Each structure stands twice: as C-alpha cells, then as structure tokens.
C-alpha cells in the first residue's frame, strides 16, 4: 500500500462548480498535513496546511480525519485558474531527527468554460 494515495483524475469540472479531493495515508504516526498545488512543469506551491479542526482559506477548505486517516480539499466556485495538479503531503518525524514529507502523486483538476 502506498504511504499517500490520491485519485490521479483528471477531474473535469465546469467553471463555478464545487469539487472535492480526498487523500488517504497509511502511517498513523503522521503529524502534519498539507495541500500543495503544482502547475504543469512548475514547482509545487504550498496551498494550505491542514489542521485538526479543519481550516478554510477563501474558496478552499481542508479537513483532516485522523480516525479514518484521510484528508480532503474542497474547492468552491472553481475558476479556470484553479486548473492544476493538487498534491497531498504528509509529514512524519524521522527517527534520526528532522521531518519527512511524503508526497502523493497528485490529483489533476481541469476547470472548463
């Protein structure tokens, strides 16, 4: 089983739609969680950290379910500019010190007119 699993998509949605992505992780010792956005042939950019109580940033809402070991990202009122690949990222503490980020392979979103 992969450490972090995401549906690769693509998710093709009309502009203005609400779309949700889920991501599951296998290591129950995972401490922190993030969503990154990656445009084609560009570097990943931090979209938001995911807090235990859930958090919202404008049209984006992230939630964490530790019992079921998954995180989610909800995008409301999708814009054409939201088209990108969304990477689920999980952090655990390394035994030798430092943290380890494990990246999912990403979910591709295409927002269409």
Partner 1 sequence: DGGITQSPKYLFRKEGQNVTLSCEQNLNHDAMYWYRQDPGQGLRLIYYSQIVNDFQKGDIAEGYSVSREKKESFPLTVTSAQKNPTAFYLCASSIRSSGAIYEQYFGPGTRLTVT
Contact residues toward partner 1 (CB under 8 A) are 4, 31-32, 34, 41-46, 49, 87, 91, 93-94, 96-106
DSSP 8-state symbol, 50 = E
For partner 1, the closer CB: 74 or 92: 92
Nearer to partner 1, 50 or 111 (CB): 50
Q: Are the CB atoms for 62 and 55 separated by under 8 Å?
A: yes
Of the candidates 3, 8, 1, 62, the one whose C-alpha atom is nearest the C-alpha of residue 33 is: 62
For residue 6, the minimal CB distance to partner 1 (Å) is 9
| Cis peptide preceding 93, ω within 30 of 0 | no
| CB of 20 or CB of 46, closer to partner 1 | 46
Query: What is the distance between the alpha carbons of residues 28 and 43, in angstroms, rounded to a whole number?
Result: 28
CB of 105 to partner 1, least distance (A): 5
């Amino acid at each position: 089983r992969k450490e972090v699993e995401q549906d690769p998509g693509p998710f093709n949605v009309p502009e203005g739609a609400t779309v949700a992505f889920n991501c599951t992780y296998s290591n129950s010792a995972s401490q922190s969680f993030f969503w990154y956005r990656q445009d084609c042939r560009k570097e990943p950019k931090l979209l938001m950290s995911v807090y235990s109580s859930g958090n919202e940033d404008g049209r984006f809402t992230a939630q964490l379910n530790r019992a079921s070991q998954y995180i989610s990202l909800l995008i409301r009122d999708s814009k054409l500019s939201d088209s990108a690949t969304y990477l689920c990222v999980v952090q655990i503490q390394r035994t030798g010190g430092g943290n380890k980020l494990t990246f999912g392979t990403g979910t591709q979103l295409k927002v269409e007119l």
